[in-house]
Amino acid sequence: MSRDGKEVLADFMLKRAMNKGTVFTAQSYKERWFVLTEESLTYYGGTLAKRGKAKGTICLNNVKTVETVEDGKLDDKINVFQIMHRTEKGEGYYTLYVVAQRPEQQKNWVDTLKQTIRDKGVTFLPKYHTGVWTKNLGHYNCCDQIDRNAPGCQVIPDDGLGAAQNNSTRSNLPPLPDIPKTNGTGGHRPVPAPRPPKREKEKDREKKIYIAAYDYKPCEDGDLELVTGSEYEILDDSRDHWWLAKNQNGEKGFIPANYVKKKFDLEIYEWYYKGVTRERSEQILKSEAREGCFMVRDSSTAGMYTLSIYTTETRQSVPSSSREGVVRHYHIKKNEQDRFYLAEKHAFVTIPDLIYYHKHNAGGIATRLKAPPAKNKNAPVTAGFGHSKWELDRNDLELFEVLGSGCFGTVHKGKWHGRVVAAKMMKERTMSEDAFLEEAKTMTQLSHPNLVQLYGVVTKSKPLIIVTELMQYGALLTYLKRHKHRLLNKIDTLVDICIQVCNGMEYLESRSFIHRDLAARNCLVGDSQIIKVADFGLARYVIDDEYTSSTGTKFPVKWAPPEVLSFTRFSSKSDVWAFGVLMWEIFTCGQMPYDQMRNADVVDFVCTANKRLPKPEASPQRTYQIMMDCWKKDWEERPTFKTLKQILTKLEGS
């Protein structure tokens, strides 16, 4: 890069800190000497009286846009303009915001910068953002796009200084290879050149640098605040859900591991949905219902990716108002050079490069990619409220309406330090509290997207209150019955519900944690049809013979395998039997298994006669076969949840 060439313009102005992960405050602005030459824009420290050391420089060849920001206003500043430029290493774009002292100075800088840059034959991007991208809000305030590299939302105004005109000024020079063909109106080539592949900083790779995907406000001493977009170095990741991290100011503390994503991983992109199935991608994209809304997810083939896009473009010519959108799925393939492509003609070294290209070009797919889903981007649950906090104070808890009640007590909607929760007020003498409390701390550390999170327990006052994640739509059993007519012919959706429960159970199985009462009534439904398993392990602490004895009236006989009915032998394999019955509940949309039969008859039917539940009408043979595998008399022959997950996921992919 050259800083040679004669000085074109020099002024003392304010520079806003780079968008590298800080929250913007008044201190984010620094006084700098800005010096424009024919080759570069350099900013220096020092004072108005004396120019100091160079602090940074932008090669004019890397500049992509120069524009005022919306109304010239940014934070509490006026006369602001922006210079978007590619970084030297080509990792992406940065925008430099400069505050001029007067409107004329602002206009002079914008016009002169544009002219000088265009004189070099540099192509600007066709669009820019009038607003700014804010890290802590994670979006552009002009268009609500949430990817910092999202294309501009506003076409660059035609100022009569278009590229076509520039060519004359350099007619004595050989033609530049990269000058766009213009259409005579000062328009620009619609396709920006693909970005060069990311080059990673080796040091960051070794150092475990992560980026916060959500804000996190610490609730406990020893925890560290997270600011979306900021970088953290992970010092200790030996625990599953709480990692020791250091922020850029050198402060250390515990953070929820699921709130940060590894720098340079696909996961830092808002459009990447790890572990989302085809069916769930459709649910999420359809609930958003925006043309071009898209996500990249893992394919059913391991190590491969699929692009899913919502579009209302169908081949039939239906009026747009009556069109129902569809979700299209495209396998992201790899060519012989190991490059990713959707259409063979356009192959890229990285998936982000491919996405960037298809945001600007349909390139053979149904519609241009716009933005990933914006809804349901709420921060995920944490394993407890702090790295070791599980005993909660009654005074920190506000209680609202009742969600339901049973023999164990009443469950309220509530708030804990402003966070929405469910609070289970336990009826006295229905549960052996001491034994439960001993286990509660371990249970807060069980954390999975398909398990209702236990946050903590109010222990120091009566009644005992169990505080968990809140699930909007209540019990799965009620949900299945209520939506029976919509769900019965949607095999993919029913399989997806099975997969979600299976995922949660696979996690419990991997921790050797037994549920003991898995059934549709003990699963809950949340936003975008997310299903979570609830009340795992609680059965052990119930003090009620009618519930704990296999001959009791409240014992879940219809979900129990022979070895539990005969000698109370609970295991993950007895959970697998119950899962088979739960699949049957799902495929009948909430019918009672062994409908009219009394518990004693069920024991005879299953254990003595060795008979099983019939195939639900809505169930294909292959899903019924899975249920039958769960109901093998010999528990060792039943599949594990790990195997079940593989079988179910393959079904869905087909």
Which one, 67 or 433, has the nearer CB to ligand 6XL? 433
Helix, strand, or coil here: 525?
strand
d(CA 150, CA 147): 5
Helix, strand, or coil here: 268?
helix
Name the segment binding ligand 6XL (CB under 6 A); options: 155-163, 213-221, 252-260, 468-476.
Answer: 468-476
Helix, strand, or coil here: 446?
coil
Site membership for ligand 6XL, residue 406 (CB under 6 A):
yes
Which one, 72 or 474, has the nearer CB to ligand 6XL? 474
Taking alpha carbons only, the member of 517, 523, 563 closest to residue 537 is 517
Within positions 364 to 403, which residues make up the interface with ligand 6XL, using CB under 6 A? 403
Q: How far is the CB of 593 from ligand 6XL (least distance, A)?
A: 17
Question: Quick check: 231 and 263 in contact, CB under 8 A?
Answer: yes
Q: How far is the CB of 417 from ligand 6XL (least distance, A)?
A: 18
Site membership for ligand 6XL, residue 560 (CB under 6 A):
no
Crossing angle of helices 491-510/641-653, nearest 10°?
150
What is the contact mask toward ligand 6XL in residues 423 to 462, using x (rule: CB under 6 A)?
A: -x---------------------------x----------
Binding ligand 6XL by CB under 6 A: which of 307, 422, 565, 581?
A: 422
On the question of a cis peptide bond just before residue 463, with omega within 30 degrees of 0, the verdict is yes
Residues with Cβ within 8 Å of residue 609, at least 6 apart in sequence: none
Q: How far is the CB of 557 from ligand 6XL (least distance, A)?
A: 13
Q: How many residues bind ligand 6XL (CB under 6 A)?
A: 22
Name the segment binding ligand 6XL (CB under 6 A); options: 23-31, 112-120, 309-317, 466-474.
Answer: 466-474
Binding ligand 6XL by CB under 6 A: which of 465, 471, 502, 533?
A: 471
Site membership for ligand 6XL, residue 477 (CB under 6 A):
no
DSSP E strand boundaries for 216-293: 231-236, 242-246, 252-256, 260-262, 272-273
Site membership for ligand 6XL, residue 588 (CB under 6 A):
no
Within positions 486 to 545, which residues make up the interface with ligand 6XL, using CB under 6 A? 517, 522, 524, 534-535, 538-539, 542
Which one, 508 or 542, has the nearer CB to ligand 6XL? 542
Rg (CA), the chain: 30
Question: Quick check: 114 and 65 in contact, CB under 8 A?
Answer: no
Which one, 186 or 474, has the nearer CB to ligand 6XL? 474
Q: Quick one: CA dihedral 142, 143, 144, 146, positive or negative?
A: negative
- What dihedral angle (degrees, nearest 10) is formed by the CA atoms of 454, 455, 461, 463? -30
- What dihedral angle (degrees, nearest 10) is formed by the CA atoms of 144, 147, 148, 153? -50
Which one, 188 or 424, has the nearer CB to ligand 6XL? 424
How far does CA 647 lie from the centroid of its chain? 26
Name the segment binding ligand 6XL (CB under 6 A); options: 55-63, 168-176, 464-472, 634-642.
Answer: 464-472
For residue 358, with 0-12 CB atoms within 10 Å meaning exposed, 13-18 middle and 19 or more buried, which class applies?
buried
Question: Quick check: 1 and 38 in contact, CB under 8 A?
Answer: no
Given the DSSP bridges, would you call strands 7-16 and 29-37 parallel, antiparallel or unpaired? antiparallel
**Residues with catalytic function:** 517
Q: How far is the CB of 131 from ligand 6XL (least distance, A)?
A: 38
Which one, 159 or 428, has the nearer CB to ligand 6XL? 428
Binding ligand 6XL by CB under 6 A: which of 408, 479, 555, 584?
A: 408
DSSP 307-340: EEEEE---SS---GGGPPPEEEEEEEEE-TTS-E
Binding ligand 6XL by CB under 6 A: which of 45, 380, 449, 474?
A: 474
Q: How far is the CB of 595 from ligand 6XL (least distance, A)?
A: 22
Site membership for ligand 6XL, residue 411 (CB under 6 A):
yes
Binding ligand 6XL by CB under 6 A: which of 306, 468, 599, 623?
A: 468
Summarize as ranges the residues that interact with ligand 6XL (CB under 6 A): 403-404, 406, 408, 411, 422, 424, 452, 468, 470-474, 517, 522, 524, 534-535, 538-539, 542
